[in-house]
Amino acid sequence: MKILKCSLTLALAIGVVAAATSSAGENTPPNRFLGALTVATAAELPAKAAELVTQADAKNLQPTTVEVVKAAVGLNPAAAPAIVGSIAQSTPGMAAIASSTAVALVPQQAAAIARAAVAAAPAKAGSIVEAICRALPAAYQTVATAVAEVVPGAGKEILAGIAAAIPELKDAINQTLASYHGDVPSVSTILMQVVQSASSASTTTLSSGSPASPSLPRGPSVGPPLVPPSAPTTVLDPGTGGQVPTGGPRGYSSP
């Protein structure tokens, strides 16, 4: 019975890989890090992903991070926050890249990924928020609030990251900050006022008969990425597992 159950699990994993490969396109090259990550157990996966990133030279560091995150999250979507956190801790400069890549794969875990990344690399709070907001602009409020809870002193960096990723919010953020004369309240308070200010301005413009201002993103609903990933990306469901190569992972169990 146990052997039959393992065989059925392996067959299901192979089916998931086939479906993901088909949706990504037949010409997509295989991920070169899948082999190394597949032999890791679920508990070893985050550390192994971080190890592969640290082994990359400076020239290939960014593309390596992207490929490693895609492979690792594909194997275990539920472990995305741990994978990103491990990479951010070992290679802080890649925290933003790892975060945005993971969020594009599992957007429903955006806040958890943001928390894990900034907890491991607090000095990168602004760039982490910017990268995630570029990948998933509709979740900017949820992501910013989550990061501010972990690094409460990084309010200005967090807001600057949002403004850089979503230019439509830049003026409203700057005006709201200016009204406090340097004494900045919480990030969530600022963003609530930014949303209210934008809504009020839109209503005034419409009542005057002039063209309405561009609509602004609203969190925490999930929307399409602002900047598409460099390669076709499949949104993964943590409840079904991810991309697992033929043969199945050693010691790996679905989350």
Q: Is residue 246 part of a domain?
A: no
Q: Give kind and range of the element (H or E) at residue 105.
A: helix 95-105
Instruction: Note down the domain range covering 47.
Output: 2-205
pLDDT higher than 70, residue 150? yes
Tally the domains of the chain.
1
Q: Is residue 222 part of a domain?
A: no
Percent of the chain with pLDDT over 90: 58
Q: Is residue 215 part of a domain?
A: no
SS3 of residue 178 by DSSP? helix
Q: Is residue 247 part of a domain?
A: no
Residue 156, classified by CB atoms within 10 Å of its CB into exposed (0-12), middle (13-18) or buried (19+), is middle
Q: Is residue 216 part of a domain?
A: no
* Mean pLDDT, residues 44-63 taken together: 97
What integer pLDDT is reported at residue 237 of this predicted model?
A: 65
Q: Is residue 96 part of a domain?
A: yes
pLDDT higher than 60, residue 88? yes
Q: Is residue 17 part of a domain?
A: yes
CA distance 31 to 245: 10
79 confidence band (pLDDT: 50, 70, 90): very high
Q: Is residue 232 part of a domain?
A: no
* Mean pLDDT, residues 108-134 taken together: 98
> 202-236: per-residue pLDDT in tens?
554 445 444 444 455 554 444 444 444 444 556 67
139 Cβ contact partners less than 8 Å away, ≥ 6 residues apart: 107, 110, 111, 132, 133, 219, 220, 221, 222, 223
> 160-189: per-residue pLDDT in tens?
999 999 999 999 999 888 888 767 788 999
What integer pLDDT is reported at residue 181 of this predicted model?
A: 77
